[in-house]
A and B are shown apart, each in its own frame.
Chain A
Amino acid sequence: MAIRKSLLGSAPGLALLALSSVVLAQTDPGVRPGAINGQSGATTTSPLPLASVTSNTPQGVSEFFQNGLGRFQEVESVSGGANNGLGPRFNFNSCSGCHAQPTIGGSGLPTNPQATILTSVGGNPPIASSSTNTVPSFITTNGPTREARFPFFFNANGTGVNTSAPNGGVEDLFTVSGRADAGSCSLTQPSFAFAQSVNDVIFRIPTPVFGAGLLENLDDSTLLANQAAQQNNGLGISGTFNHNGNDGTIARFGWKAQNKSLELFAGEAYNVEMGITNEIFQNERPLPGEDEPSPGNTPAGLPSNCLNLSGNGYPEDATNFAPSVANSDTFAQNAQIPSDVVQFALFMRLLAPPIPSTTVPGGAAAISTGKSLFSSIGCAVCHAPTLGTTQASNITSSLGSATVSPFSDLEIHQMGNGLADNVSQGGAGGGQFRTAPLWGLGQRVFFLHDGRTTNLLTAITDHASSGSEATEVIENFEDLSTSQQQDILDFLRSL
């Protein structure tokens, strides 16, 4: 790609570029049109659950799924609304606001709702108040929905970063200060502009959760068997697993596979991304470091006028001992009882994985060839087309004895200094990332952990850098012909 840039700077280069423009034709076909998630009947607000959930086996699972889907879309307020507890710090005010592409449960939309956080949208008051909030420069209308983290703490004397003090926790973008329902709570946003000036900010985009229940129901032994089969692959690849610290088993969710279960995933996101405490994370979350001592600073945590803003006490999301809305359908009535976090997890667990298209884009031959090439050049060593079979399920039959095709080994791999973000999570270091599942890739907009590109070709070539396990495979990709590379792009967009 560097060669193309230097060509443009010279007249003969431009002539050559014009001549060669016919040859340099491999292009990302873009977001695949057609059926949402490749599923007939899915809409942008109605993702499909697994088949046995649609057939309501066991009885009631369908009502619970619908309830979870509904809660996933709830708009949270600080107080006085239907769903309270937002803040005092947050990245957005609903799960589905960030997890929406191509449908609820997915990744970020092409138009970022965080960019209009200060304006009135659809007749609603602004989600954040412009009296105390500004939109950080890295949140743009057509850019990725994202959260931000500072890999390192700053020096207290304002001299920049302290690279001996790793941080890496989420720095929520906005505060509730100035909202009519937030009382007198007054907090300032993190110092995003300063962090950018000292190269101390990284981003993460939402991970899609389609098929997550299948990933959850793979036994560790299945993942280990797949890892064993990849030994001595001749491509320089040798990954490992992240483990959770509670029971030592393989963790598998999140960009660094740091989260063990969907329940944890939901609870953490509810508290960290929206500030809604729950039965897994019961305490309001200050910014990283705000509750730790530092020289000359006695930590005080959050000020008391920013606590219990909902007025309902803690945790803000809790089990409902009785359903609040009568419903003649007993199961729909029962589904109101679990807390939001339990229902979020169940919703994610019951989502059907995306169905690949066999013809779009590029046609059946291109997709089939692309799939073979994808495996042949070595992509499949990490992006495993089939990972294994799930165990029997105690929840619903579609989760049991199912072949899982996520295009991921769920291992963490060294991805080099080009992708490293200097954030360690569990056993994953700053340069390690979970192999991102590629199922559903075709209808995603932004790629890689920080959404740095919308161009699939760039996402592929960014896998190669100093220290990456993927370099040899990317070399193989770049040694393919243009039409072979196009077949791979077509195949990936068919997923």
Chain B
Amino acid sequence: MRSARSRIYLLLVGFFVSSAAGAQGSVPQQGPVLQKVPENVILVKGAWSSASDNVTPLPEGGKVSTDSYNSPYFGLTLPLPAGWIQKYEGPPPSDSGYYVLAQLRPADPTPGQGGGRPRDHARGTLLIAAQDMFFTTTHATGPLELINYTRDHLQADYRIERPPSNITIAGRDFVRFGYVSPVAGLHWTFFATQIRCHVVEFIFTSADTQLLENLARNLGGLKSQPEIDASEPVCIKGYASAENILERVDPVFSERKYNQVPVRVIIDREGKVKHIHFLSAFPTQSQAISAALSQWRFKPYLRNGQPVEVETGMLFGHVPQGAL
């Protein structure tokens, strides 16, 4: 790289690349193709989510199609209001167990129908989020407590319109909660429900109260699995405690890092760890923890005398006050 010869070579290569820049696809490149950093891709991820296999459904594994949001892990399908899309995917799971499952909004108006966002165009958002209750730092144990936490920490800019209350929609128990920002004229409505160790929240935001009512009505089309599904592992908070662990090996970390590493595991009927999901971990951390967990043995969990699979959470790494 430092010698004059290699600099001239690089300059020549650069020339060929730039002259071939407009010729991708149909016309053959004139010189060697340089490897570039791909645009708009995060390659150096830091702490990120990963799993031991790509078959077992993950909380963040839901997908938005043209007409619905579908999540195999949560067992739910929500039809989308007509014309609603996900423009941008959300962030990865956070190290406090919070997920952005889908961020939905009306599609931008097609060109020619007016500049910017016309006032009569539907404006609002539908956020589908989830909080893994193993990892919340709020001490909440279910939807009502989690919503109450939000209510108790609302900034002074908001006025509560609808205090937290129970409601049944599409055969599920929800907690509904609503507030408004009088200055912005924006209304928020939360619908929170418990699904497999998580509180799943459908959050509607709009200045248009009619739109909000439509969105709430649309929620009635939610298809979800019943509360107890025999094919799913049983969710048990804190299962990885001393009385249930028959054999354990502690992970050996190659370096000290200061992030917390929330980990979901599924334990099979023999008490072995069959699936590991890292919500947020550096690669060295997930490798060390995977190597350790493969040697753990749990006491199998019995339901009606029969061993069943268990889903539980564990927190490795830096543990702040208030966590598990």
Q: Do A and B assemble together?
A: yes
Which chain B residues (96-154) contact chain A, with CB distance < 8 Å? Answer: 96, 98, 100, 103, 105, 108-109, 111-112, 114-117, 119, 123-125, 127, 129, 131, 136-138, 146-147, 149-150, 153
User: How many CB-defined contacts (below 8 Å) exist between A and B?
Assistant: 237
Would you call A3 and B108 a contact (CB within 8 A)? Answer: yes
The CA-CA distance from A418 to B18 in the complex, in Å, is: 24
The yes or no answer to B40 lying at the interface (CB within 8 A) is yes
The yes or no answer to A54 lying at the interface (CB within 8 A) is no
Would you call B256 and A232 a contact (CB within 8 A)? Answer: no
The yes or no answer to B43 lying at the interface (CB within 8 A) is yes
The CA-CA distance from A193 to B10 in the complex, in Å, is: 10
Q: How many residues of B are counted as interface, with CB atoms below 8 angstroms from the partner's CB atoms?
A: 85
Contacts of A198 in B (CB 8 A): 34-37
Shortest Cβ distance from B100 into A: residue: A236
Pick the contact of B116 from A4, A228, A240, A431 — CB < 8 Å?
Answer: A4
Which chain A residues (413-430) contact chain B, with CB distance < 8 Å? Answer: 413-414, 416-418, 420, 422-424, 427-430
Pick the contact of A158 from B9, B47, B92 — CB < 8 Å?
Answer: B9
Would you call B137 and A228 a contact (CB within 8 A)? Answer: yes
The yes or no answer to A88 lying at the interface (CB within 8 A) is no
Contacts of A480 in B (CB 8 A): 184
Contacts of B203 in A (CB 8 A): 234
Stretch in B71-79, B83-91, B230-238, B267-275 with 4+ CB within 8 Å of A: B83-91
Pick the contact of B92 from A24, A424, A467 — CB < 8 Å?
Answer: A467
The CA-CA distance from A233 to B201 in the complex, in Å, is: 11
The yes or no answer to A330 lying at the interface (CB within 8 A) is no
The yes or no answer to A166 lying at the interface (CB within 8 A) is yes
Would you call A234 and B96 a contact (CB within 8 A)? Answer: no
- Known: A238-B96, A428-B46, A429-B45. Contact between A377 and B186, CB under 8 A? yes
With both chains docked as a complex, state the minimum distance between the C-beta of A97 and any C-beta of chain B, in angstroms. 29
Pick the contact of A168 from B44, B48, B201 — CB < 8 Å?
Answer: B44
Pick the contact of A228 from B94, B115, B322 — CB < 8 Å?
Answer: B322
The yes or no answer to B95 lying at the interface (CB within 8 A) is yes
Pick the contact of B207 from A234, A236, A479 — CB < 8 Å?
Answer: A479
Contacts of B111 in A (CB 8 A): 3, 6-7, 13
The CA-CA distance from A484 to B117 in the complex, in Å, is: 14
With both chains docked as a complex, state the minimum distance between the C-beta of B116 and any C-beta of chain A, in angstroms. 5
Which residue, of B36, B37, B146, B259, has the highest number of chain A Cβ atoms within 10 A? B37
Would you call B1 and A472 a contact (CB within 8 A)? Answer: no
The yes or no answer to A23 lying at the interface (CB within 8 A) is yes
The yes or no answer to A301 lying at the interface (CB within 8 A) is no
Would you call A199 and B37 a contact (CB within 8 A)? Answer: yes
Stretch in A43-51, A148-156, A262-270 with 4+ CB within 8 Å of B: A148-156
Would you call A424 and B44 a contact (CB within 8 A)? Answer: yes
The yes or no answer to A161 lying at the interface (CB within 8 A) is yes
Would you call B131 and A232 a contact (CB within 8 A)? Answer: yes
Shortest Cβ distance from B124 into A: residue: A479
Contacts of B7 in A (CB 8 A): 191
- Known: A239-B94, A478-B117. Contact between A224 and B320, CB under 8 A? yes
The yes or no answer to B42 lying at the interface (CB within 8 A) is yes
- Known: A160-B34, A160-B36, A198-B36. Contact between A475 and B125, CB under 8 A? yes
Contacts of A159 in B (CB 8 A): 32, 34-35
Would you call A233 and B150 a contact (CB within 8 A)? Answer: yes
Would you call B183 and A20 a contact (CB within 8 A)? Answer: no
Stretch in A110-118, A368-376, A434-442, A443-451 with 4+ CB within 8 Å of B: A368-376
The yes or no answer to B157 lying at the interface (CB within 8 A) is yes
Contacts of B108 in A (CB 8 A): 2-3
Pick the contact of A234 from B17, B90, B188 — CB < 8 Å?
Answer: B188
The yes or no answer to B6 lying at the interface (CB within 8 A) is yes
The CA-CA distance from A159 to B31 in the complex, in Å, is: 11
With both chains docked as a complex, state the minimum distance between the C-beta of A454 and any C-beta of chain B, in angstroms. 21
Pick the contact of B42 from A7, A230, A240, A417 — CB < 8 Å?
Answer: A417
With both chains docked as a complex, state the minimum distance between the C-beta of A135 and any C-beta of chain B, in angstroms. 18
| Per-residue interface assignment for chain B, residues 232 to 273, with 1 indicating a CB less than 8 Å from any chain A CB and 0 otherwise | 000000000000000000000000111100000000000000
Q: How many residues of A are counted as interface, with CB atoms below 8 angstroms from the partner's CB atoms?
A: 87
With both chains docked as a complex, state the minimum distance between the C-beta of A200 and any C-beta of chain B, in angstroms. 5
Contacts of B190 in A (CB 8 A): 234
Shortest Cβ distance from A290 into B: residue: B2
Would you call B88 and A465 a contact (CB within 8 A)? Answer: yes
The yes or no answer to A458 lying at the interface (CB within 8 A) is no
The CA-CA distance from A325 to B321 in the complex, in Å, is: 52
The CA-CA distance from A243 to B267 in the complex, in Å, is: 33
Would you call A476 and B125 a contact (CB within 8 A)? Answer: yes
- Known: A224-B320, A231-B96. Contact between A24 and B115, CB under 8 A? yes
Pick the contact of B43 from A160, A422, A466 — CB < 8 Å?
Answer: A422
Pick the contact of A475 from B45, B96, B105 — CB < 8 Å?
Answer: B105
With both chains docked as a complex, state the minimum distance between the C-beta of A236 and any C-beta of chain B, in angstroms. 4
The CA-CA distance from A6 to B41 in the complex, in Å, is: 26
The yes or no answer to B166 lying at the interface (CB within 8 A) is no
Would you call B129 and A23 a contact (CB within 8 A)? Answer: no
- Known: A154-B1, A231-B149, A416-B88. Contact between A377 and B35, CB under 8 A? no
Would you call A430 and B46 a contact (CB within 8 A)? Answer: yes
Which chain A residues (311-349) contact chain B, with CB distance < 8 Å? Answer: none
Contacts of A248 in B (CB 8 A): 256, 258, 318
Which chain A residues (10-43) contact chain B, with CB distance < 8 Å? Answer: 10, 12-13, 16-17, 20, 23-24
The yes or no answer to A410 lying at the interface (CB within 8 A) is no
Would you call B116 and A24 a contact (CB within 8 A)? Answer: yes
Contacts of A194 in B (CB 8 A): 10, 14
With both chains docked as a complex, state the minimum distance between the C-beta of A187 and any C-beta of chain B, in angstroms. 9
Contacts of A151 in B (CB 8 A): 37, 43-44
Smallest CB-CB A-B distances: 3 pairs? A429-B46, A160-B35, A243-B258
A-B contacts, 6 listed (Cβ < 8 Å): A20-B115, A152-B37, A243-B318, A372-B183, A467-B88, A472-B205
Beyond the given A372-B157, A417-B42, could you list 18 further A-B residue pairs with CB under 8 A, ordered by the A residue number?
A: A6-B111, A154-B1, A158-B13, A198-B37, A231-B137, A234-B127, A236-B100, A238-B91, A369-B183, A376-B186, A377-B181, A380-B155, A429-B46, A467-B42, A467-B90, A467-B91, A467-B92, A479-B207
Residues of B within 8 A of A (CB): 1-2, 6-7, 9-10, 13-14, 17-18, 32, 34-48, 87-92, 94-96, 98, 100, 103, 105, 108-109, 111-112, 114-117, 119, 123-125, 127, 129, 131, 136-138, 146-147, 149-150, 153, 155, 157-158, 181, 183-184, 186, 188, 190, 201, 203, 205-207, 256-259, 280, 318, 320-322
